[in-house]
Amino acid sequence: DDPTTTTTEAPEVTAAPEGEVANAAPVPSAGCGTSEVGSVVDERQHLDDSERWWLLRTPLDHDGETPLPVIVDFHGLSEGAEIHAKMTELGPFADDHGIVLVTPQGTGDPVRWHATLGVDPDDDLRFTTDMLDQLGAELCLDTSRIYATGLSNGAMMTSAVSCALADRFAAGAPVAGVTFSDACEPARPVPLLAFHGTLDPILLFNGGVGDSLNSVLDSGDIGAVDVRGVPIPEADLRGEGYPAATQAWAERNGCEGEGDDVDVTDTVIRRTWECPEGAEVEFWIVEGGGHTWPGSEFSASLERVMASTDLSISANEEMWAFFQRFALPAT
């Protein structure tokens, strides 16, 4: 089957209530007991016989015997893996929580992910599966606890793998760019947590792109962008664009209703649906937020390029709490 349109049969996810961790035994990868990889920090690794690469970060206590969870973090358009690793600040977070962090590199100039399922006949999904296979052979991973996240174009890729590779990823958390595709038929409902800012100047909250994105595409240099003073349409919190995309995910997962909103902070709204167990969907609306990674000081330092970063929540903490609720059973 073409991995851009459908997935192989996948087992139902093991799920836990909010605030708890899925009660599932680890599913060790082939590398458990044989891995010689110790602690590494953003080490560049190549796919065998390929120019494709990723950055690998493993915890200090990685012993090659204990299966560890994995977060695959996809960069944005023109950003690249090395800048993105700084942007999210997921590295230190992963160290503290015993997570293997993988930050893969896309292709092209400007560098990007071809994440439009059913349209782009590219290798990015196959690269992702091959990368996971190689990492599983070389490291001791818990293959039941592999999760995806990413920013912007990386959020689109997160959406793609969360659907098309539902047999590999237990859950996804796209930041500033969740997408829904009718071209993908997931093998199971996939839990999803999405973030988006109402004043995103690049991927507009209710759909379409801002003029800033054209600057990146024209110059290939994200540093050439200056979003200060750029007018942004008023956000309709239940309108088209990203609210509609998350609503579509919820409906495909079998969730009921239009979603209930709760204020998390003065600037953040959390929308949840009545979903079947193991199919939960959440949409975190960041009022006044830009094209940014909530909670990241590095992101906040790039206000000229990305607009405002909300520091009242941590995307890393919220997505990890969400991820831990879900695990794929052994097959």
pLDDT tens digits, 123-143: 899 999 999 999 999 999 999
Task: Round to the nearest angstrom and report the end-to-end CA distance of the chain.
Answer: 19
Whether residue 8 lies inside any domain: the answer is no
- Using alpha carbons, select from 136, 12, 37, 87 the residue that is nearest to residue 298: 87
> Angle, to 10 degrees, between the axis of helix 124-138 and the axis of helix 153-164?
70
Whether residue 9 lies inside any domain: the answer is no
Summarize pLDDT for 64-73 with one digit per residue, the tens: 899 999 999 9
Over residues 241-245, mean pLDDT:
98
Could you tell me whether strands 192-197 and 281-286 are parallel, antiparallel, or unpaired per DSSP bridges?
parallel
Q: What is the CATH number of the domain that holds 24?
A: 3.40.50.1820
Whether residue 74 lies inside any domain: the answer is yes
Whether residue 1 lies inside any domain: the answer is no
* pLDDT tier for residue 8 given thresholds of 50, 70 and 90: very low
At 9, give phi and psi (nearest 5°). Answer: -60, 135
What pLDDT shows up at residue 61? 78
- Using alpha carbons, select from 324, 269, 319 the residue that is nearest to residue 295: 319
Domain holding 62, by residue range, is: 14-327
Domain count, the chain: 1
Summarize pLDDT for 261-291 with one digit per residue, the tens: 999 999 999 999 999 999 999 999 999 999 9
Residue type, position 179, single letter = T
Could you tell me whether strands 14-15 and 326-327 are parallel, antiparallel, or unpaired per DSSP bridges?
antiparallel
At 259 the three-state DSSP class reads strand
CA distance 82 to 11: 34
At 266 the three-state DSSP class reads coil
Residues 6+ apart with CB under 8 A from 315: 88, 173, 175, 195, 293, 294, 295, 296
Whether residue 269 lies inside any domain: the answer is yes
Q: Is the pLDDT of residue 10 over 60?
A: no
Whether residue 6 lies inside any domain: the answer is no
Whole-model pTM: value is 0.93
CA distance 152 to 160: 13
CA distance 124 to 126: 5
At 286, give phi and psi (nearest 5°). Answer: -100, 105
Over residues 209-230, mean pLDDT:
70
